[in-house]
Chains A and B, each alone.
Chain A
Amino acid sequence: MKNRLRVLRAEKNWSQAQLAENVGVSRQAIIAIENGKYDPGLPLAFKLARSFGKSLEEVFIWNEPKTG
């Protein structure tokens, strides 16, 4: 799953620590999500999207696995 967290955060001019505080998680969590190393659960994903005033789909992009 890809995400636009870094871009949206830059648009808002927020630091990772500020975003972390906004959604009530550690900065390590934001770093891991931004780097695509960790996919957040639904509650955190919604919190992140809401903090940017966006819908879930505008922040997180689901990559459909290739079949066949």
Chain B
Amino acid sequence: MYTLLFVVFEILPPFMQNPSLPARKSFAPLLLTLCLASIIDLGAGWLLRQPHLTQPARILIAFLPVPANLVLVALIVGTIRKLDEFLRHVHLEAAAIGFLLTGLAVFVYGYLQRASALPPLNVGIVWLFMVLFYGIGYVIAARHYR
């Protein structure tokens, strides 16, 4: 999800406006790895829904998506390093806003949980918070420097 957001917000607009940017070279490997990681994620999810698997096998399957996603992380970091200083600046603000708002959202969720207003926190929701708030952070930062 993060990669997709990163590609949509960051790689594509400068890529279309200025095809000579060094970040362009990261585009194809990034998309390829994203596809591969998504297939592995979906495959692991499907396998974990199978009832006949033993507990050790389930644990192994749970770790299956890790290598491809680590490659994704490395590619994203590499791409960020290739961005120009201004885009890195915008990304830093977006990441800071996303990080802080996610913390705030989890904090509020925890209190609402204590108040029995919400069910126990699903870890997947934290991921959604991160993606959502990173997107919001990016829009805020990009608008600020426009």
A interface with B by C-beta (< 8 Å): 17, 20-21, 24-29, 31-33, 35, 37-38, 40-41, 43-44
Contacts and interface: CB of A to CB of B under 8 A. Distances in A.
Q: What is the size category of the interface that chain B forms with chain A?
A: 10 to 19
A38 B84 contact: no
Contacts, number: 58
A17 B20 CA distance: 11
8 contacts: A17-B18, A24-B20, A24-B21, A24-B22, A26-B83, A29-B84, A43-B85, A44-B84
A28 B21 contact: no
**7 residue pairs, one from A and one from B, having the closest CB atoms:** A29-B86, A25-B84, A26-B14, A32-B145, A37-B145, A27-B17, A20-B18
A12 B82 CA distance: 28
Interface of B: 13-14, 17-18, 20-22, 83-87, 89-90, 142, 144-146
- Which has the most chain B C-beta neighbours within 10 Å: A27, A29, A40? A29
Given A32-B145, A37-B145, A37-B146, A26 B21 contact: yes
Contacts of B17: 17, 20, 26-28
Nearest to B15: A26
Nearest to A44: B85
A28 B145 contact: yes
A17 B14 CA distance: 10
Contacts of B145: 28, 32, 37-38
A38 B32 CA distance: 34
Nearest to A31: B146
Contact of B18 (A27, A40, A41): A27
Given A28-B17, A28-B87, A37-B146, 5 more contacts: A25-B18, A26-B21, A27-B18, A32-B86, A40-B86
